[in-house]
Amino acid sequence: MREANLDCQAIQKRRQEESYKIIQEFEKWMNSVAGLFTPKSRMGKALVYTYTLLPRLSRYVLDGRYNIDNNGIENAIRPIAVGRKNYLFCGNHDAAVRAAIVYSLLGSCKAYDVDVRTWLEDILKRIPVEKDIDTLLPYLWQTLAGNSH
């Protein structure tokens, strides 16, 4: 629906007309098979788990801005999760803090659609003479006069 450029209200309306019916049918099916499995069986545990999540799953029909999944944030934090064990070997606590700062700055560049190489080349030249280094942060840097962004 987003690829079709529908606005949030149109997405909400369509979800309420189509998706909510599917969620209700799924809930009816879960209720119909629940008695066939013991709560400690694998299927019983899956039904209990899913049933407890159903109210939260259903919320996405209430607002067209909600996503049904959290794939966007999962993809954004994947590099951090993958590298977590590597960060144990930074050498010492101070080195780990510096690494975290660098990763945060590079992540900010990505979030603000700033080319990392261009940003780094520019700020590394300007840091020694810049009076207000906050202006070199990625979210402010892209608005500075003379930058090609």
Alpha-carbon distance 133 to 123, whole Å? 9
Question: Which whole number is the average pLDDT over 110-115?
Answer: 91
pLDDT at 2 over 80: no
Residue 144 is classified by DSSP as S
The alpha-helical segments, DSSP class H, found in the chain are 8-14, 20-34, 42-58, 71-87, 93-111, 116-126, 138-141
Please provide the average confidence, as pLDDT, over all residues in the chain.
87
Q: Does residue 17 or residue 146 have the better pLDDT?
A: 17
Q: What is the pLDDT of residue 70?
A: 85
Chain segment 116-130, per-residue pLDDT in tens: 999 999 999 999 998
Report CA-CA distances (Å) from 146 to 33, 141, 142: 65, 10, 9
Q: Which of 4-18, 74-88, 93-107 has the highest mean pLDDT?
A: 4-18
Q: Please report which helix (H) or strand (E) contains residue 70, including its range.
A: none
Alpha-carbon distance 29 to 36, whole Å? 12
Chain segment 67-76, per-residue pLDDT in tens: 888 888 888 8
Token pair, residue 96, equals 């780990």
Alpha-carbon distance 107 to 32, whole Å? 47
Report CA-CA distances (Å) from 83 to 75, 100, 105: 13, 11, 16
Q: What is the pLDDT of residue 97?
A: 86
pLDDT at 29 over 70: yes
pTM of the shown model: 0.52
